[in-house]
Amino acid sequence: MLLELAQSKKILFFGGKGGVGKTTVSSATAIAHANSGAKVLLVSTDPAHNLGHLFDRTIGSKPVRITAGLDALELDPAETVNVHLKEISESLHELMPVTLHSEIDKHIALSRNAPGMHEAALLERIADVIEEGKDEYDLIVFDTAPSGHTARLMVLPEMMSAWTEGLIKRKEKADRFAEFVRELGQDTSMEDKTIGGATMAEQERESKIRRILLRRRRKFEHLREHISDPEQASFVIVLAAERLPVLETIELYEQLQQANITVECLVVNKRAPANSGEFLHERHTQEEIHLQTLEQALPDIKRQDIFLQSQDVVGISAVESLAQIL
Ligand SMILES: Nc1ncnc2c1ncn2[C@@H]1O[C@H](COP(=O)(O)OP(=O)(O)OP(=O)(O)O)[C@@H](O)[C@H]1O
Ligand SMILES: [Mg+2]
């Protein structure tokens, strides 16, 4: 079922609690699709990057070839935050009077570790990866960090475009006020250098700031369009068949619904086999009870169960064999 989903979409996100198998299952799906002849890009958005560990090689912020048809990259949050803050800092310096510059620098330094900063920066990189990769690749698969983080990330495009919109409006208001003040005390000797109350240099600077803000807003709007379009994108929740993970999955599903993100598939990973001894059989029965809760809460969402393998899934050949059973 995961393979069918991969064949019908351009973008897939894999999310869920820590350790449930997001990296394993997203990689297996990416390989399965690549093996069927598609060109796939696998992207880790998790700061703890485990694609490199899984494939036992260094993977950086530029795509590297994993196997025929499959490239992978790991988004570097620190690098992304630096680029992001530098741009914000530069545009704020241009936007605000010189007397406020040291205040801005202080604020930017504090922002580096502010909640949401890494997510916002990552979101911008996700938008870039989709923009840059959507023509080259048939499918882009995102292996994301544990649930809370992912859900926040998914609603961010809306928040971010509202934020830039607010900034633009505030700027326009401030401009009108400045113009009014200028007109009150108009000095006729200055008149020849001004156009509509602002000097040409001011106007040029303003349009540059506006361009930066509008570009960022457009980026988030595009991302929003892509990820909320059910024809193009879908979110896969990976979970374990246990009580809390099931309840958290239902909650995550609702958060994603509110953010207009389609969830078409749930993957219940590491299921205990039914007939491999009494202990595992009992575990299997217990799991069925938890899965009934899931079924009742989300009756229309397809489910794929993947059994617990006797070995950890490490290395490309282990992922390849898991890909065979999707
Ligand atoms: N079906 C399976 N059978 C056996 N082991 C599995 C299975 N799926 C995943 N694993 C193992 O479980 C561990 C966690 O898997 P994985 O790294 O894919 O989880 P994750 O959700 O990406 O974790 P994190 O939240 O830390 O990113 C790994 O050691 C992996 O090999
Ligand atoms: Mg992982």
Q: pLDDT tens, 140-149? A: 999 988 755 6
pLDDT at 23: 95
Helix or strand holding residue 250 (H, E) = helix 243-258
Cα 268 to Cα 296: distance, rounded to the nearest angstrom:
15
What is the tens place of the pLDDT at every residue in 115-128? 666 777 788 889 99
Given CA atoms 98, 100, 103, 108 in this order, what sign does their dihedral have? negative
Residue 243 confidence (pLDDT) above 60: yes
Q: Is 138 helix (H, G, I), strand (E, B) or coil?
A: coil
Sheet holding 302-307, edge to edge: 64-67, 70-74, 40-44, 139-143, 11-15, 233-239, 263-271, 302-307
Q: Are 157 and 227 in contact (CB under 8 A)?
A: yes
3-class SS of residue 244: helix
Beta bridge partner(s), residue 307: 271
Residue 251 phi, psi dihedral angles, 5° rounding: -65, -45
**Pocket-forming residues, ligand 1, beta carbon under 6 Å:** 18-24, 46, 48, 50, 146, 269-270, 306, 308-309, 312-314
Predicted confidence band of residue 31 (pLDDT cuts 50, 70, 90): very high
Among the residues of 192-242, which ranges form H helices?
200-227
Atom 23 (ligand 1) nearest CA: 19
For ligand 1, atom 12, which residue shows the shortest CA distance?
21
Of 157, 178, 156, 166, residue with least CA distance to 213:
166
Which atom of ligand 1 is found nearest the CA of 271?
1
Segment among 79-83, 138-142, 268-272, 320-324 with least mean pLDDT: 79-83
- Strand partners of residue 195: 198
pTM comes to 0.83
pLDDT digits (tens, 9 = 90+) for 200-216: 666 666 666 667 667 77
Give the pLDDT mean for 133-159: 77
- If one counts every other C-beta atom within 10 angstroms of the C-beta of residue 2, the result is 23
- Identify residue 54 by its one-letter amino acid code: L
Atom of ligand 1 nearest to the CA of 269: 1
Residue 15 has pLDDT above 80, yes or no: yes
| Backbone φ and ψ of 221, nearest 5° | -65, -45
Would you call 48 exposed, middle or buried from its count of C-beta atoms within 10 A (0-12, 13-18, 19+)?
exposed
Least confident among 66-75, 118-127, 283-292: 118-127
Quote the ligand 1 centre to 114 CA distance (angstroms): 29
pLDDT at position 189 over 60:
no
**Number of the ligand closest to the Cα of 268:** 1
Vertex 73 angle, CA 69 and 76, to 5°: 175
Q: What is the distance between the alpha carbons of residues 269 and 266, in angstroms, rounded to a whole number?
A: 9
Contacts of 27 (CB under 8 A, 6+ apart): 42, 51, 54, 55, 143, 319
